[in-house]
A and B are shown apart, each in its own frame.
Chain A
Amino acid sequence: MDMDAVVGLLHATIRLATPLLFAAIGGLYNERAGVINIALEGKMLLGALVAFMVAFSSGSPWLGVVAAAASGMLVALLFAYVTITLGADQIVAAVAINLMMLGFTGVVFRLMKAAISGSLSAPTFPEWAIPGLDRIPLLGPVLFRHLPLVYLAFLLVPLAHFVFYRTTWGLSIRAVGEHPRAADTLGVKVRAVRYLTVLWGGAMAAVGGAVLSIGHNSTFIENMTAGRGFIAFSAIVFGKWTPLGTMLASLLFGFADALQLRIQAGILEPLFRSLGIQEVAYQIPVMLPYVVTLVALFFIGKSHWPAAAAIHYDREEG
């Protein structure tokens, strides 16, 4: 591989890690507060559709992102009400949301396609090269020639670290996830903390979805997330519930994605040919990010979930 190919691979790693990072860093907040959120997938998918529709009709990708965040919060509100207020099982509620969003986005997108003749192409973001920094050899093109949302995603990482470990909010969030009753006896509003973190997580997951539709592409495709919400969830676990770890895990999965695209494009063809393999079905490299997810969880060892994860809290129940 030559230098350009390496730069391209690393650049793509960061680009492809971005949607995962949005969903994972956002989801980290509610996970640390004890709400398990495997509905990231559904929220990402909805965000992807809403961002595309609003950007398409308004002409502004930024408006698309804001609308996506709002839609993510709306679904998160439903999820929060069902699980935190009504005490429904978090896993089951999340599965319902994922299935609902898969169907809903598909139907809406088909209706839109039927109603609109002509190109279904939304305006997308221009690349922001950071003046000066982008001229650094190697690092410049890898790190500093991206969409604005990419920088935003990576800024969320130190922000999350600061919130968790340096603020009273973060202390409350961590305490609620470990021992909600203890937090309650000290006047921490357990439900409010869980609601707010779920809403924030929903908004961020939807923005992650928006990156897929109007960041990487300029259109929506049915089931365009293709399990990325679950990969983002795995990134939280693999990252051991820390912002930095979650970022590294997202980058690993982004790298796997970038690599498989290049394998599809044929970078390994000389290798295959020397091994006497004529053709590799494209489905095989496509599996790579998912295989990496599994293998990664293999190596993580025993993980320490927040002690109150997925457990409903009710003050008057023992």
Chain B
Amino acid sequence: MGETPFLRMEGITKTFPGVVANDRVNLEVRHGEIHALLGENGAGKSTLMNVLYGLYQPNRGRILLEGRPVTIHSPEEAIRRGIGMVHQHFMLVPPLSVTENVILGLPGARGILLDRDQARQRIQEISHSYGLEVDPDAPVGALSVGVQQRVEIIKALYRGARLLILDEPTAVLTPQEIQGLFAVMRRLVADGHNAIVFISHKLDEVMAISDRVTVLRNGRDVATLETRETNKAELARLMVGREVLFRIEKPPAQPGPVVLEIQDLVVRDDRGVPAVRGLSLQVRQGEILGLAGVDGNGQRELAEAIAGLRIPEAGSIRIHGQDVTRLDAGDLLRFNLAYIPEDRQREGLVLDFTLSENFVAKRFRHPPFSARGFLRRPAILAFARRLIRRFDVRAPGPEVEARKLSGGNQQKVVLARELSQEPDLIISAQATRGLDVGAAEFVEQQMLAQRARGAAVLYISSELEEIFNLSDRIAVIHRGEIMGVVRPDQVTPEELGLMMAGIRRDDLSGSAALAQVPDPTQEEASS
């Protein structure tokens, strides 16, 4: 196409105190195109898009829309110019209904009066034409993430968006939901009138859906390529700046006796609804049991129950054969249990504490870190320095606050504290979430090292690739129940995806079951 591109961003530079988030970045998006923006966390993808969306003002550079230079001072202005954004963390107000979320901020057709009926009708029109099924009257907080994402897309289209920015849209979806999203994306650009910027750090998805791809690294654009003329290895090298191994080396497991045994466990969530419903599983010494599942299917409650942070309703948890069902986290210290929580910033660390304080958070009551009620700083500092070296934490020193570190380094601090005690049992929840390729690799290596040492590992993740890479056995959780336990070499990602969507392993045999699966775009929310 020799015509004027839909969007050109030229020489965009955006700095924050101490950081250059975007350094002379160029981006060109054509009409009718799905353009992937690929890069690791912190590469500057979100910053660039926030500049385009008027949330940040660039220090330098200019933006051209259909050939005309524009300045975008606010999201309002971006919307007016036909730019819509679906943020990675949804920008939805949970207590409000779908309709209210969609019309929020818009001048009503009837002046200051809300016109819900007309809005509801237009929402239905949009959802029919693009396959975005949703109930306009449902409160958004009650919808599944997949459906919430549809609401976000509808919100943008309702405002007349023609250039849609999707920021890491697949992170929270099942494989089937991802296929549904891709179908919607293709329908959106089909008439050549619209365009999509697809932000991702997942190479498979970029290869599958995009027409072209721009790679960002350390705040700079390193390349723009036609997707069909490139491949995963090249993209990975551009993104990380070095060769990347896609399969990690893993010697065969040598499982020993059962360390963790869970029987018919029932755990309620914060709202009092059972989130874990009669779940049983076992983890052996020297084995990694991967627990796959879409977020919010009881993984958090299960992990918290084992770690003693949530008292189960029924069933039992045994560690080394001893009943620990009703023990709290303090009692569990003597079982040498390591817990890597899902939310490292809120539960894994005390962000306002220094690294050394975080390192000894579990052990400061005991020698050598304290004596007669007084902390012994030299011992604590020496210990902290040792861990910083051993776990390769990139930090100015042991006295810096945890808050100041990047996400990857924060996770290393958690790992250092939990793994340095040589635990018998490790409960790891979404340990690589939000980490870039390098840091994620580090986490995986550590898990394998612990396995080799003889630890039993329950590895909870919603990333299928990681589950396949690490697990000796894979259990799939759906709505608090185990759909089946399989070996990674005896199952395909598609089959796992179906189990994650709630189909039991036993019902999966043969292609008959596969044929029965409903179209994911039509499938209704499982809250």
A residues at B contact (CB < 8 Å)? 165-172, 174-175, 178-179, 181-188, 307, 315-316
Whether the Cβ atoms of B104 and A316 lie closer than 8 Å is no
Knowing A168-B107, A183-B105 are in contact, say whether A174-B75 is a contact too (CB < 8 A).
Answer: no
Knowing A172-B104, A188-B105 are in contact, say whether A166-B92 is a contact too (CB < 8 A).
Answer: no
Since A168-B107, A174-B95, A185-B91 are in contact, a sample of 8 more A-B pairs with Cβ atoms closer than 8 Å, ordered by chain A residue number, is A166-B113, A171-B114, A175-B104, A185-B53, A186-B91, A187-B79, A187-B105, A315-B55
Interface size class of B (residues with CB under 8 A): 20 to 34
Whether the Cβ atoms of B104 and A188 lie closer than 8 Å is yes
Complex alpha-carbon distance, A174 and B92, angstroms: 12
Whether the Cβ atoms of A178 and B96 lie closer than 8 Å is yes
Complex alpha-carbon distance, A160 and B107, angstroms: 20
At the interface, yes or no: B76 with Cβ under 8 Å from chain A? yes
Chain B residue nearest to A165 in the complex (CB): B114
Which A residues lie within 8 Å of B87 (CB)?
Answer: 185
Shortest CB distance A14–B (Å): 31
User: Could you list 14 examples of A-B contacts with CB < 8 Å?
Assistant: A166-B113, A167-B112, A167-B113, A167-B114, A175-B105, A179-B93, A183-B104, A183-B105, A186-B79, A186-B91, A186-B104, A186-B155, A187-B76, A307-B94
Q: Mark B90-122, 1 if CB is under 8 A from A, else 0.
A: 111111100011011111100011100000000
Which B residues lie within 8 Å of A172 (CB)?
Answer: 104-105
Pick the contact of B93 from A166, A168, A170, A182 — CB < 8 Å? A182
Q: A-side binding surface: helix, strand, loop or mixed?
A: helix
Complex alpha-carbon distance, A121 and B6, angstroms: 73
Chain A residue nearest to B55 in the complex (CB): A315
At the interface, yes or no: B316 with Cβ under 8 Å from chain A? no
Knowing A167-B112, A167-B113, A315-B55 are in contact, say whether A186-B92 is a contact too (CB < 8 A).
Answer: no
At the interface, yes or no: B85 with Cβ under 8 Å from chain A? yes
Which B residues lie within 8 Å of A171 (CB)?
Answer: 96, 100, 103-104, 114
Shortest CB distance A34–B (Å): 11
Complex alpha-carbon distance, A181 and B92, angstroms: 9
Which B residues lie within 8 Å of A181 (CB)?
Answer: 91
Which B residues lie within 8 Å of A186 (CB)?
Answer: 75-76, 79, 91, 104-106, 155
At the interface, yes or no: B56 with Cβ under 8 Å from chain A? yes
Knowing A166-B114, A167-B113 are in contact, say whether A179-B94 is a contact too (CB < 8 A).
Answer: yes
Chain B residue nearest to A174 in the complex (CB): B96
Complex alpha-carbon distance, A211 and B256, angstroms: 78
Which B residues lie within 8 Å of A179 (CB)?
Answer: 91-94
Complex alpha-carbon distance, A292 and B114, angstroms: 38
Chain B residues 478 to 498 lying within 8 A of chain A, measured CB to CB, are: none
Whether the Cβ atoms of A187 and B74 lie closer than 8 Å is yes
Complex alpha-carbon distance, A188 and B92, angstroms: 13
Knowing A166-B113, A171-B114, A187-B79 are in contact, say whether A182-B56 is a contact too (CB < 8 A).
Answer: no
Whether the Cβ atoms of B93 and A174 lie closer than 8 Å is yes
Pick the contact of A178 from B74, B94, B105 — CB < 8 Å? B94
Shortest CB distance B12–A (Å): 16
Chain B residues 9 to 65 lying within 8 A of chain A, measured CB to CB, are: 53, 55-56
Shortest CB distance B166–A (Å): 14
Pick the contact of A175 from B96, B108, B113 — CB < 8 Å? B96
Shortest CB distance A313–B (Å): 13
Complex alpha-carbon distance, A183 and B103, angstroms: 11
Whether the Cβ atoms of A316 and B56 lie closer than 8 Å is yes
Knowing A171-B100, A187-B76, A316-B56 are in contact, say whether A182-B92 is a contact too (CB < 8 A).
Answer: yes
Which A residues lie within 8 Å of B53 (CB)?
Answer: 185
Complex alpha-carbon distance, A178 and B97, angstroms: 13
Complex alpha-carbon distance, A264 and B94, angstroms: 48
Interface centre among A165, A167, A186 (most CB of B within 10 A): A186
Whether the Cβ atoms of A168 and B91 lie closer than 8 Å is no
Complex alpha-carbon distance, A107 and B139, angstroms: 52
Whether the Cβ atoms of A178 and B93 lie closer than 8 Å is yes
Chain B residues 147 to 196 lying within 8 A of chain A, measured CB to CB, are: 155
Which A residues lie within 8 Å of B91 (CB)?
Answer: 179, 181-182, 185-186
Whether the Cβ atoms of B94 and A168 lie closer than 8 Å is no
Knowing A168-B107, A168-B114, A188-B104 are in contact, say whether A183-B93 is a contact too (CB < 8 A).
Answer: yes
Complex alpha-carbon distance, A185 and B56, angstroms: 11
Shortest CB distance A182–B (Å): 4
Complex alpha-carbon distance, A316 and B53, angstroms: 13
Complex alpha-carbon distance, A316 and B106, angstroms: 23
Whether the Cβ atoms of B108 and A184 lie closer than 8 Å is no
Chain B residue nearest to A186 in the complex (CB): B105
Which A residues lie within 8 Å of B92 (CB)?
Answer: 179, 182
Shortest CB distance B310–A (Å): 18
Complex alpha-carbon distance, A184 and B56, angstroms: 12
Which A residues lie within 8 Å of B105 (CB)?
Answer: 172, 175, 183, 186-188
